[in-house]
Amino acid sequence: MSSPFPPPQESNCPTELPHGTAEPQHQYRNYTEGKLLERVYHTYRLMHTHQTVDFVRKKCAQYGPCSQRRMTVMEALELLDELVDESDPDVDFPNSFHAYQTAEGIRRAHPDKDWFHLVGLLHDLGKVLALFGEPQWAVVGDTFPVGCKVQKSVVFGDSTFHDNPDTKDPRYSTEYGMYQPRCGLENVLMSWGHDEYMYRVMKFNNFALPKEAFYMVRFHSFYPWHAHGDYEHLCSEEDLRMLPWVRELNKFDLYTKQEELPDVQQLRGYYQSLIDKYCPGELCW
C-alpha cells in the first residue's frame, strides 16, 4: 500500500540548515573536543558495555506493556524539564526546550503538515525513561543494532565496546550476526533507548498519525544508518523508502539547537491542539 505522503524532495536534504539556525554544521555532533566531551564519552562507554541482546530483550519485555504510569503528552513533556541529555555534545539545557525547537523548525518549513509538527514535539519524549529510574546510557544517545558486528561509524565504537560480551559471542560478532540479509529494520533488535520506547508508546496508545511518523520516531537516533550509510545490508525496500523522512526530521532535530530558548507558554496552545487531534487524553506509558 503506497503512502499518501510523498517523501521529502532531495532539495530538503540535511546539508541545508533549517531557517533560523545560525551556527555552521561542523559545530554540531563534535565528538573530538568540547566542554561536554568527558560526560558524553562516559555515557557512551557505559552504553556500549551494557547494551547486549539479552539486555535489550529484557527491556522490551519490561516496557512493552506500557504499564509504568498514566499521563498526558503534555505531562510527559513537562517531566523533560528535569532532564539534560548526557550524550549530547551540543546542548546543556533541559530536553523539553529542544522538543519545541525541533517542532517549530518543522512548522516553519512544512506549514501544511501539522502531524509532522507534532512528531518534532514527540520525538524525544521517550527520554522520560530516565525519570522512571533508567540510567541515561539506556535512554539517550545514538542507537545501533545489537546481535551483529558493530560498524565503523558508531560513535566512539573503536574504544568503548571492549567489555561488551556480545562482541566475543560468535553468534553476534559477524556482519549479519543473528539476522538475514535485507531482513528489514523492523526485524532488527536495536540498542534500547528512547526511540524504541516512544515508538511502542505510540503504537500501544493508537496515535492517529501516519506510518512515517512512527518510523521517524523509532529510528531518528540511528545515526550510523541515516547519516553514514552503515547497516544497509539489513535494510528492506521499505526502510530505504522511509530514509528521506528520517533525514528530514534529523535536520530539525540537530540544527535547531540554540541557546536562545523558545517561549513555551506562547507555543503551548498550538501544540495542545495537535495533541488533542492525534493523541488526546491520558495515555499508558
Which pLDDT score, from 0 to 100, does residue 6 have?
Answer: 60
114 annotated ligand-binding residue: no
Residue 94: pLDDT above 80? no
Residue/partner pairs of 261-265 with CB below 8 Å, 24 or more apart = 261/93, 261/97, 261/101, 262/97, 262/100, 262/101, 262/104, 264/96, 264/97, 264/100
* CA distance to 9, 180, 251, per residue, from 14 (Å): 11, 30, 5
85 annotated ligand-binding residue: yes
87 annotated ligand-binding residue: yes
142 annotated ligand-binding residue: yes
Which pLDDT score, from 0 to 100, does residue 220 have?
Answer: 97
169 annotated ligand-binding residue: no
Hey, what's the torsion of the CAs at 123, 202, 193, 148, to 10 degrees? -110
158 annotated ligand-binding residue: no
Rg (CA), the chain: 18
Grid cell 522520560 in the structure block, residue: 128
220 annotated ligand-binding residue: yes
Task: Looking at 53-151, list the stretches that DSSP marks H as alpha helix, in order from N- to C-terminal side.
Answer: 53-63, 73-79, 95-109, 114-122
Tell me the whole-structure pTM to 2 decimals.
Answer: 0.88
Express as a percent the part of the chain with pLDDT over 70: 82
Which pLDDT score, from 0 to 100, does residue 261 have?
Answer: 72
141 annotated ligand-binding residue: yes
29 annotated ligand-binding residue: yes
110 annotated ligand-binding residue: no
Q: Tell which residue, 279, 126, 109, 104, has the closest CA to residue 206.
A: 279
Lowest mean pLDDT segment, chosen from 39-48, 139-148, 247-256: 247-256
162 annotated ligand-binding residue: no
Express as a percent the part of the chain with pLDDT over 90: 74
Q: Please report the sign of the dihedral spanned by the C-alpha atoms of residue 12, residue 16, residue 20, residue 26.
A: positive
pLDDT tens for 177-228 read 999 999 999 999 999 999 999 999 999 999 999 999 999 999 999 999 999 9
Which pLDDT score, from 0 to 100, does residue 8 have?
Answer: 66
239: cell is 526502510
Side chain identity, residue 262 = P
* CA distance linking residue 252 with residue 232, whole number of Å: 23
From the number of C-beta atoms within 10 Å of its C-beta (0-12, 13-18, 19+), residue 32 rates as exposed
120 annotated ligand-binding residue: no
